[in-house]
Structures are given as structure tokens and as C-alpha cells.
Chains A and B, each alone.
Chain A
């Protein structure tokens, strides 16, 4: 019961001592967008971190870039396109769906499906 009501009842006290958010958004929706976008983009400097988490200066610049674009009303797709135009699909942790990545997206499910089908076939054939 201790955990009750902690969350989503966040009240930001606006006392004079309150620290300011580094990326201050006017709506929680924009804030979620920012969190989502930065976490799904790969940092190109230390290549196994996302932009949200990386301490590399470039990641900071890109966070700032994304922040500004959200503030100026760009859509997620526009922001992603902006980055892909400059850095290529490598920057996307969610690979785009295209001719080259069909195998990536479908093969696992095809394997699961054929595995289960074979299993059923195997058990039933010699009954």
C-alpha cells in the first residue's frame, strides 16, 4: 500500500527554490515525444547508447536539436527524417521497414509459425 498514489500525482511546486527542467515542455505529450524520440535514436559517437542516455557532446547537440524541433512544432516523422537525411538509417534503433529489412521483421514470426506447425504435424502423424 506504500506505493499508492505516488505516481502521476506529480505536483510541480513553483516555489522560488524550484530547480528548472533542462528541457522544459509546455505539454506532457511533447515531453513523452521527446523521451521516445531520444531513446529510439542511436548515438553515433559511443555507438551503443541512445541519444537520451549518452554523455557524448554530439548526443547533447542532437538532444537540443530535437528539443528545438519539437518546440517549433515539427512532427516526429519530420524530426526523424531530418536526422536520417544527415546520418542515415544507422541512427534509427528501430530499423525502417523496406526491401532489405523484410527478413529482419518477418523471419522470427515465420520461424515460430513453421516450428509450431511442424510440431503439430509431428505429433499427429503417427497417432
Chain B
């Protein structure tokens, strides 16, 4: 019963999505708005149906059969409803309609978008939504049923997904990913109108900032999940699917900054519109890469070629038509620049250029193997060493400018005044960078020092901004400051972690110990444990630091009953300065176990920086909500 209801709800949602498109053509008042809310309601209903199918473990539903099992704990059953292609696509559609509904309520309440434009935005969102719901319904229906003749049990959720990360990461990531549809619809609607309302950028900004915050948080959550789950303490692998989430983030960061200039200085209009289109196109590209099977990835969904063809065709229509609009209408938005070469505008534009180059680098790195294969040349792999050599150098100047740009005035600036303003900050950043290896005893590397310098420079320069504010209200810039410091902390965490992590792979018998980075790790005992749907071999370790303080930590090797595949569950000791990460490997015939022990300094800073981005995003939203009439003063 439930699956049929869910299926029916999807059909109704599809119907309302089509009505949503018809909005501007059919002059029935409120019809379009009703369609938006009904669509959201029915998709939410369908999602609930799916979740209940999982809770009941209804194996007649194919999607449930493939991703659930009677022993699977309840919380993972709920998570499993988006743990595969079909369910996560339903979540995609639900979140898209959720954003649309939220956007509509928000705009109707604030009345900051003219009705004509609002109708067009909702229409564009309707197109996107229709395409995705149709995709969901025709090629990836999560409610497809099959009645087995004899009782069977489900295939269970892949062990690697059975982690709290599954509950938070995909919804958070999609809240970001999908949310950029609104900025995209905004841009297309504006292009269709052919003229720019003066407060366009202002009205659009929260719809970039909110998804951007969620995406930042989603990416960091994903990284945290991989760190804990994949068993070797890495936090970023340059896997194509990870790249797929980083791409829209980079483009959206450019968009965010470009919108500020658009709002404050009425410049870069065309470029901003382009960035909005690029950002969503990259979301689309990511969705395609993950779901079509053109690339090999640990995270990719099982795929079938029909889905790839559909998604590609749909992407061609949506993004292609947006680009055609852009081609035809862009001349109406062109404005000659009204600023000097050395000005904040230039720096913000430079920021876009660097970020788009970074995007291009990742796209090239991800797609290049396909290019070579398509040309029947050799088959290559592009991985971390490539991105470290190409992507990182491109981003470094952007980080330097990140500290500098907020101090540069709008319009024009002389180098001398800027130098006078910043020289002490620069000096102290350099000084601390130089002192760092001496004081902490860490080994000196040029590249590490560069990373440390950039992190400290951003923090100092941002704090300088705070102290020079004097009597102005702090709130409007606090969001920017927190986000920038968040990036600085992220950079410091990544640099220090990459440079100073150490590890040992040892063969250990119970009672033996190993020293690493000033800690002594002793394997106390090996015992068996039983989980709800797995059995595990657990190793209890005692860890002693060089002042005699003791901790204990358990590292497991789990065998999930339904999969019969061993999975390592690392034991991690956490504090602000370092993680100690112990992963149990395989056993030897003499009763010894191979153990990997990692000392990972500053890894918490990475997650910390990521959450500061989320915080910054929310602060910015609060500012936006507070400012009602003040906006014109700001300009």
C-alpha cells in the first residue's frame, strides 16, 4: 500500500511541477504558488512513504531490498532511504521543491522581488523540477516492486555507509548542491526579463549564501566521514565524486563575491549572471558524474546507461537554454568598468578569475582521462599528486589576496597607503611563521611555511579589520570575518596535517608496544564483540603520553553478517592539537595483528574551519534579515 501511495505522490508532484511551469502563461491567481506548495507536500509524502517502507523492511520494494536488512538498526534504515541512487534522487527532488517553497514564502513575505520576476524564477525552477521528477519516475523509481515467491531478506546497506555520517552528510550536501538552483533560476529569469532590477543582487544573495554554507558544511562532513570510515585517516582523496562537490563550492564562492560587487557597485552584472549559471551547471555535472558511470569512484552509485543518457540530455537542455539566453541578452547588461586597476573591485574580480581557473583545473583533471580514452590514446589516472602540483599553486595567491582585499578601498587605492596600512600585519605574520618551527620543534619546510604564513596572514589581516572598525556596526562584516578566519583555520589545519602526520605499520602481539610521536601504544588484548548486525574483533589499546597520562581506545575489525566482508573501524583519540588514529589490519598465524598507527596533528582544525564557514553563512543571513531599510545607506 505504502509504495503505491508513494508512487502516486510522485506522479502528483510531477503534475504540479508542470503546473509550476505553466504559471506565467496561465493567468490564474495563486495557481503557481499552490503548485509549488503541493509539489513539496507530495514529495515530502513520498519520502515519508519510502522511509516507512524501510522501517518496515518491506522487501517487496526493490530499492528497500537492495539497501536494507532485517538486522539493520533503525537509524541506518532511515538513512538507507537516501543511501542509494533512487532514494537519494527522491531526496534531491524533495530538497529542490523545499527550497522553492521556502524561497517563495520568503519572497512573498519580504516583497523584495517584483511579481513578474518572481513568477519567472518559479517557472525556471519548475522546469528543473519537472525534469528531475520525470527522471526519478521513469528511470529510477524507488517504489518499484517485485513480489518474490519465497521469503527473502534484503541485501543490506553497504557496511561503509553504516555510520552516523550517512544521516547528516547527504542531506546537508544536497541542501547546498540543489539550493544553487534558485540562484540559477534567478539569473535565467533576469536574462529573460532583459533588465536588471536595482536590488537584484541584494535579493539573490541569501540564495547563494545559504546553499553555500550548507555545501561547505556538507563537504566537511563528507571529509569527516571518510576520515573515520575508510580506515587510513585521510580526509581528502581528490576522488572524482569529491571533486564533484568541490566544483560548485568554488564557483559559488566566486559568485558570492561577485554578487557583493554587483550589489554595492553595480558592476560585473554579466559576469555574475554567468557565474550563477556555471555554479548550477557544475552541480548538474556532479550529479551526472556520480550517477552515470562515466568515472570510477568509491562513492559512485551503481549505474545504468539510460540514466546517463537522460541526465546528459536534460543537462544539455537546461544549461544549454540558459546559455542561449545569456548569449542573446547579455548585451543589455554590459557596463564599462568604473574603477581603477588597483581597487577592491579588481581584487574581487581577480578572486573570480582564480576560482574559475581552479574549477577548470579540477574539471580538466577529472575529465582528462575520458578525453584520452575517447581519443583511443592511453589510459591514465589523475590523482592527488597532480592536484597538489597544479591546483594548490593556483589557489595560493587567492589566499594571500583574501587577507588583503578587504583592506583595499572601492574604486581606487594607492599602493603606498595600502603598504602603510598592512606592513606591520605582514611583518608579524612573517615573524610568527619564522618562529613557528623554532618554538614548536616541527621541522622546517618551505611549502609548509608558506601555508602557515597564509593562514596566519589571513587571520591577522581579518582581525586588523575588526580593530579598525571603530564605531561602525560590527554585524555586517562579522559574517565575512568569521568565514575568512574559517578558511584560514582550514588552511592551517590542512598544511600542518599534511606536513607533520606520521605513521607506523606494525605487527603486534597482545602485550607489545610501539612508540610514535611521543606516545606509547600498547596492545592490551584482542577480544570478540557483537554488534546489532555485525561481529567484530576488537583490539583494546592503551596509549600513554610522555608525561605518563593514560588513555584507552578500541579499534575494531568488523564482519557484517549480511556481507561477509571485513571492515576496519578505526579507534581515534581526539583533542584539539592532534588525533591518534589506530586501525586494525589483518591477523598473522602466530596470533599477532597488523596495526596502523597514525599521529595526525591539527586534523580537528579542518572540521573546525568548515563549521566556521557554516556559521559565517548563517550570520550573513541574520544580517540580511535585520537590514531592511538600511541597505541604501550601505551603498
Contact = CB atoms under 8 A, between A and B. Distances in A.
Contacts of B357: 108, 111-112, 115
Contacts of A105: 390
B14 interface: no
A93 B578 contact: no
Interface string A21-46: 11100000000000100011010001
A42 to B, nearest CB: 5
B500 interface: yes
Contact of A18 (B360, B503, B512, B518): B512
Interface in B423-460: 439-443
Nearest to B233: A53
A94 B380 CA distance: 9
A107 interface: yes
Query: Interface size bucket, B side?
Result: 35 or more
A97 B506 CA distance: 36
Given A90-B379, A93-B383, A95-B382, A116 B353 contact: yes
Interface string B342-360: 0000100110011011001
B349 A10 contact: no
A107 B364 contact: yes
Contacts of B516: 10
Contacts of B515: 10-13, 18
A116 B350 contact: yes
B354 A112 contact: yes
Interface stretch (B28-36, B167-175, B333-341): B333-341
Given A7-B442, A112-B394, A124 B341 contact: yes
Given A92-B380, A95-B381, A95-B386, A22 B506 contact: yes
Given A55-B568, A88-B378, A119-B350, A42 B383 contact: yes
Given A93-B381, A108-B360, A20 B518 contact: no
Interface in A59-100: 88-96, 100
A91 B381 contact: yes
B383 A88 contact: no
A21 B381 CA distance: 31
Interface string A100-115: 1101110111011001
A89 B506 contact: no
Contacts of A5: 440-441, 518
B293 to A, nearest CB: 13
B372 A100 contact: yes
Contacts of A20: 506-507
Nearest to A23: B505
B394 A123 contact: no
Given A6-B518, A111-B360, A112-B357, A19 B380 contact: no
B368 interface: yes
Interface residues of A, number: 60
A122 B381 CA distance: 38
B508 interface: yes
Contacts of B585: 55
Contacts of B509: 19
B518 A10 contact: yes
B572 to A, nearest CB: 16
Given A7-B500, A20-B506, A119 B346 contact: yes
Nearest to B339: A123
Contact of A19 (B231, B390, B507, B599): B507
A52 B508 CA distance: 19
A68 to B, nearest CB: 16
B378 A104 contact: no
A98 to B, nearest CB: 8
Nearest to A39: B384
B365 A104 contact: yes
Given A9-B518, A11-B515, A17-B511, A3 B383 contact: no
B379 A104 contact: no
A92 B379 CA distance: 10
B296 A19 contact: no
Contact of B364 (A19, A108, A115): A108
Nearest to B337: A123
A20 B515 CA distance: 11
Given A6-B518, A94-B386, A22 B505 contact: yes
Contact of B349 (A46, A50, A92, A119): A119
A89 B380 contact: yes
A99 B340 CA distance: 42
B36 to A, nearest CB: 39
Contacts of B513: 15, 17-19
Contacts of B314: none
Nearest to B523: A19
Contact of A93 (B385, B439, B518): B385
Nearest to B441: A5
Contacts of A2: 577
A19 B512 contact: yes
B628 to A, nearest CB: 34
B321 interface: no
A2 B110 CA distance: 51
B377 interface: yes
A88 B349 CA distance: 42
A52 B234 CA distance: 11
Nearest to B368: A104
A4 B441 CA distance: 6
Given A7-B517, A49-B298, A95-B380, A115 B504 contact: no
A100 B505 contact: no
Nearest to A12: B515
Nearest to A13: B515
A35 B439 CA distance: 28
Contacts of A48: 237, 239-240, 296-298
Nearest to A20: B507
B504 to A, nearest CB: 6
A119 B353 contact: yes
A9 B441 contact: yes
Nearest to B602: A3
B601 interface: yes
Given A18-B512, A21-B506, A94-B389, 18 more contacts: A6-B517, A6-B578, A8-B441, A8-B442, A11-B515, A19-B508, A22-B505, A35-B503, A40-B384, A47-B296, A48-B239, A48-B297, A50-B384, A53-B231, A90-B380, A96-B380, A101-B372, A104-B364
Q: 4 tightest A-B contacts by CB?
A: A93-B383, A94-B385, A108-B361, A112-B357
15 contacts: A6-B546, A13-B515, A19-B509, A55-B566, A55-B585, A93-B385, A101-B380, A103-B368, A103-B371, A104-B368, A105-B390, A108-B360, A112-B353, A123-B337, A123-B349
